[in-house]
Amino acid sequence: MKTILITGAGSGIGAATAQLLAKEKNTRLLLVGRNIPKLKDVLSQLDNKEAHLLAGIDISNVTELESFLSSSEANLKEHPLVSVFANAGIGGPNLHNNDTSDRWNEIIDINLSGTYYTCISSIPWLTEAKNKGYETRHIIITSSILSRFGVPTQPAYVASKTGLLGLVRSLAIKYARDGLLINAINPGWVNTEMARNTIQELAEEEGVTYESMLETQMKIVPTGRFSEPEEIATLVKFLFSNAQKSITGQAIDVNGGAWMG
């Protein structure tokens, strides 16, 4: 049975991807997040739930990640790790006010450093999987449409998500000949709790209703709609499927046409 690691698995895109991948035969999921009750709720909805494992881990702590992946509970020697969806992240503004309210370190530590730690902790196990017959293996990183342009109130978030694209390119070059394909996805507005909270924050800043701000934001999107988490999950499943073996070092934009390069 092959193993897939999903971080940020307790909600949104991570949860939708877990639900889709759990339908595949001979697939075991490692569901990682900081909120155990949310992870348990996701696990309860999965096919073959007894096969999967959850862990409450802060991805900005590389020691926790390495210990978990090396544990007898994860059991990656028997069930090789073949794919990683490094999806965990946090959002929101950060403003420097000469006090402790600036969230720069928090956001960078989780979004950029935590994703880096997820990759470097996983790569030895992905390499070992090759020795067990899995020639092509994958890492997919969740970046953001905001890696493509700036937002004045979110320098940490924008910087972290932009940095992930550099991380993807560097790792993709390093491991391409080994058969490890590494890509990013750049979602735009996706119908998740994080996105809805962001729209609520924007509404409060402008002194308007949530519905009014949602309408304003959707006018920017050519399709005029949120993407759904299940749409992103379908892309992840395709990239993990080995239906192709040439896409690596790329950032794939899924944003309803809001950014077209």
Polymer length of the chain:
261
CATH of domain 2-191+228-254: 3.40.50.720
Which residues face 158 on adjacent strands? none
Inform me whether the pLDDT recorded for 50 exceeds 80.
yes
Inform me whether the pLDDT recorded for 79 exceeds 90.
yes
For the segment 3-12, the average pLDDT, to the nearest whole number, is 98
Inform me whether the pLDDT recorded for 97 exceeds 90.
no
Could you tell me which of 33, 40, 88, 89 has the C-alpha nearest to residue 57?
33
The whole-model pTM stands at 0.95
Write down the pLDDT at residue 95. 81
Please write the tens of the pLDDT for every residue from 199-247: 998 899 899 999 999 999 999 999 999 999 999 999 999 999 999 999 9
Inform me whether the pLDDT recorded for 99 exceeds 90.
no
For the segment 67-80, the average pLDDT, to the nearest whole number, is 97
Q: How far is CA 254 from CA 33, 145, 166, 227, 243, in A?
A: 24, 8, 19, 8, 19
Please write the tens of the pLDDT for every residue from 107-118: 999 999 999 999
All structural domains of the chain with their residue ranges: 2-191+228-254
Inform me whether the pLDDT recorded for 98 exceeds 70.
no
DSSP 46: S
101 — pLDDT class (breaks 50, 70, 90): confident
For the segment 30-49, the average pLDDT, to the nearest whole number, is 97
Please write the tens of the pLDDT for every residue from 139-165: 999 999 999 998 888 999 999 999 999
